[in-house]
Amino acid sequence: MIDRAGFLRLGVATVVGGAIVPSAASAGLPNPVPVGDDEGFLQFGALAERVSLVYYRRAVKLRGVWSGTERTALQAAARQKVTHVQQLTAALGADAPSSDDYSVVLPDSAFRTRAGTLSLGARLERLLVGVYVSGAGFTADSASRLLLSRLLANDAQHLAALCALDRQPMVGGLPEPVDLAAAGDLLDQLLKANGYPTT
């Protein structure tokens, strides 16, 4: 028999930890060649995944908040985010945003409690999922669309895992597409441009 807490811990470890197993088939996937507006979705993803990576790395460092299993799941999510950034950067080539162009600025207040930390993470993952839904529907290049769809599937798992950690329903129904411009405005609140005049 497994109790509810044990089930949730198992679910989080399975959802987040199980997704890190690489697929041999992924080696033969086509390389994205973004066309026109496709780059906007990939560039947003590259930036937002880096913000999300910073979030997971910071969340893991919180003391007295996570069980060992929960911490392991968050560390697995961070490793997956590294892969997301690498794949998006490779897809964009010379047009990829550089990590030196900006700093990630997450609100300190969000990390004061477990609930606040999980809420911020879920907001980031919902934003990514919504943009990837839009990208999967409106990206012209099929290989770019495939990459966005794969990212969508993985980030939906991350969102479900964060909801489980917060004792929220893991299944939220069909995700709504998020407009790229609106998503960019929200993401800008967590980024600080480096090397640009401020006045």
CB crowding 153-180: b at 16 or more within 10 Å, else e: ebbbbbbbbbbbbeeeebeeeeeebbeb
Q: Say how far apart CA 122 and CA 124 lie, in whole Å.
A: 5
Alpha helices in 19-141 (DSSP H): 38-60, 68-92, 114-138
- Tens place of pLDDT per residue across the chain (199 aa): 444 555 445 555 444 554 444 444 456 889 999 999 999 999 999 999 999 999 999 999 999 999 999 999 999 999 999 999 999 999 999 999 988 889 999 999 999 999 999 999 999 999 999 999 999 999 999 999 999 999 999 999 999 999 999 998 877 788 999 999 999 999 999 999 886 544 4
Single-letter amino acid code for the residue at 109: S
Q: Say how far apart CA 151 and CA 153 lie, in whole Å.
A: 5
Domains of the chain: 34-193 (1.20.1260.10)
pTM for this prediction:
0.83
Q: Say how far apart CA 73 and CA 165 lie, in whole Å.
A: 10
